[in-house]
Amino acid sequence: MTRPLIREAGNATPEDTKAQVRESLAQSGLDSFDAIVERLAESVPRTLNEVPATLVGNLHGGVVATPPNHQTPEMMVVIDGETHEPEVIKQFDGQALYSTPGLDSKRNEVLYCFTSLEGLNDHALQETSVRHDIGTTNPDSLPEYSSYFEHDDAGGDRLDNRPGYGWRNLRRVPRGILGLGDWNDIMSSVNWCRWHITLWDLPDFGGNRLELYAGQTYYHLSQYGWGDCVSATMNWGRRF
């Protein structure tokens, strides 16, 4: 069963809820019933269900789209083993990078980036210490669902992801009042989870890729150059 896609209203009164709905619709340019009908008619097909992890890697048929340009992270980058200033990542625009946060030899947080998935996998086998906002040495104590948020610090609308499944195309996942918005290029933070999480910046698990270790929070994706650019997610339901 799919969990709710948006956060509960809490103790809001009916008047508060009505005001929130009107404000949300107005911000979306929906100021009449006809405008709402037109938006719904223009919307791409919607989905409320994730796809299984086994689907990853079997979608592109040999055709790989050019990945989006990279955002500059707020920390040093280590690209294929070489440490650089953050803006150097822009030299790799148009080339897919496989990245994950970590610590360098001086215990400074850096973004490790690799030009091949094999390089990332080799690094993951060696990386044993990761520091983020909040972490635990006992990931088994955490929820199996991963949760993604509209704003930093786990704020705004929330989208959940069950273990062993992923959201293949966030353009098709409804968000907000009446589900008229979507989740593409919206996520700003990720709450901690029992399992390994992967984010992509193109639908169908394509483009650049960010690996997030189990048992950690990621309250500011913009720190890693990943704010408001996620188009697909996967909660692997296991740790690598």
Q: Quick check: 20 pLDDT over 60?
A: yes
Q: What is the pLDDT of residue 197?
A: 95
Q: Give the pLDDT score at 171.
A: 94
> pLDDT for 22-35, tens place per residue?
887 777 777 787 77
- pLDDT tens, position by position, 110-156: 999 999 999 999 988 886 555 555 567 788 899 999 999 999 999 99
* pLDDT score, position 202: 96
**Per-residue pLDDT, 77:** 98
- Express as a percent the part of the chain with pLDDT over 70: 85
Q: Where do runs of H (alpha helix) occur along the chain?
A: 14-27, 33-42, 117-126
Phi-psi domain of 10 (left: phi exceeds 0; alpha: psi -120 through 50; beta: other): left
* Cα 52 to Cα 34: distance, rounded to the nearest angstrom: 37
Q: What 3-state DSSP class applies to 120?
A: helix
Residue-wise pLDDT tens digits, 39-71: 666 666 677 789 999 888 655 444 568 999 999
The residue with greater pLDDT, 168 or 40, is 168
